[in-house]
Chain A
Amino acid sequence: MSDHTAETTHHPISTYLWIWALLFVLSAFSYMVDYFNFQSYTRWTLILIFMFLKAGFIVAIFMHMKWERLALITAILVPPVALLVLIGLMSLEADYTWLTRTIFFIEPTAPVGHH
């Protein structure tokens, strides 16, 4: 275990200062998305790019995941993929709820049954 420990723990402090600065810059960028009022797909794409970059650097460098063995990396990072299924199912469900609400709650006096 000692070889592993040596590999994962002896980085110069400057590594962390660089990542710290990088996270500052990325946060500033994501704040700019709101400040300059980007909308729709441009906004969502930029938000997601900066979010995943920040999350990636925090997990890989600050949490030392980059230097862990593959057994631990996969045990921790693969299970959250299941969340994509949850997100997919819930967005289908939300769309359906929105549709029924729009039909039955918003325009109760609108003509129905003509299509």
Chain B
Amino acid sequence: MAESSADVTGWNQITHDWSADKQTFEVPWGKAMMWIFLLSDTFIFSCFLTSYMTVRMSTVEAWPIPSEVFALTIAGAHIPLLLIAIMTFILISSSGTMAMAVNYGYRGDIKKVVWLMLATAAFGASFVGMQVFEWSKLIEEGVRPWGNPMGAAQFGSCFFMITGFHGLHVSAGVIYLLIVAKRVNSGFYMERYGNLEMVEIAGLYWHFVDLVWVFIFAFFYLW
């Protein structure tokens, strides 16, 4: 090769990366595969959100107003979407601690990586806990996948499917983070690979879960 891959920029870089006789993505294979998995997950969540759009647009019954359905009354004050707002801030905070864990991973500061990952997992677990509270509150109020007292029957199936699938991702993420944190702590990754790239790959997954929540928050709770 006449030129090293670092010298080429812009669209020439794409041609260079795809047509040269070498691996296309200059990242660790685990990272490329995690990105491709996340791309496929993007399509799954998009299918859920698009079908939610379809049933909400096509129903002739009134759609339950999320602002009121998810309101909480605390000390006599009626606050719309309070729990959802708290859940949003918690998930963003977990993304913040995860991003810092990845950064310390590249500095080789194992102690900080482990603590920040445990903090991330704790934020994630509390998010799932609040979701359980929210689900049981709605179930108590008579919301079911096939109907609810507030309006269009499709509301329940969209709510349980979308937040349920997201909650499943968060729960799986918490377990994933704990396993990776344990292996960082025991020195497993440093021994086997000599680096902490696995932390960055776990981070990609975790940020994606936060990313999906951004879209659910906008389209399901605020729209």
Say which size band chain A's interface belongs to: 35 or more
From B85-93, B135-143, B164-172, B184-192, give the one contacting chain A.
B85-93
Cβ contact within 8 Å between B218 and A80:
no
Task: Report B80 CB to chain A, min CB distance, Å.
Answer: 6
* Given A51-B215, A94-B57, A106-B60: A75 in contact with B25 (beta carbons within 8 A): yes
From B9-17, B122-130, B155-163, B175-183, give the one contacting chain A.
B9-17
Contacts of A41 in B (CB 8 A): none
B58: Cβ under 8 A from any A Cβ: yes
Cβ contact within 8 Å between A101 and B81:
no
Main secondary structure of the interface of A (DSSP, over half): helix
Cβ contact within 8 Å between A71 and B24:
yes
Cβ contact within 8 Å between B50 and A35:
no
* Given A13-B100, A59-B211: A98 in contact with B53 (beta carbons within 8 A): no
User: B residues touching A (Cβ–Cβ < 8 Å)?
Assistant: 6, 10-11, 13-14, 17-18, 24-27, 32, 35-36, 38-39, 42-43, 46-47, 50-51, 53-60, 67, 80-81, 85, 88-89, 92-93, 95-96, 98-100, 103, 106, 200, 203-204, 207-208, 210-211, 214-215, 217-218, 221-223
User: A residues touching B (Cβ–Cβ < 8 Å)?
Assistant: 1, 3-5, 9-11, 13, 16-17, 19-20, 23-24, 27, 30-31, 33-35, 37, 43-44, 47-48, 50-51, 54-55, 58-59, 61-64, 68-72, 74-76, 79-80, 83, 86-87, 90-91, 93-95, 97-98, 101-102, 105-106
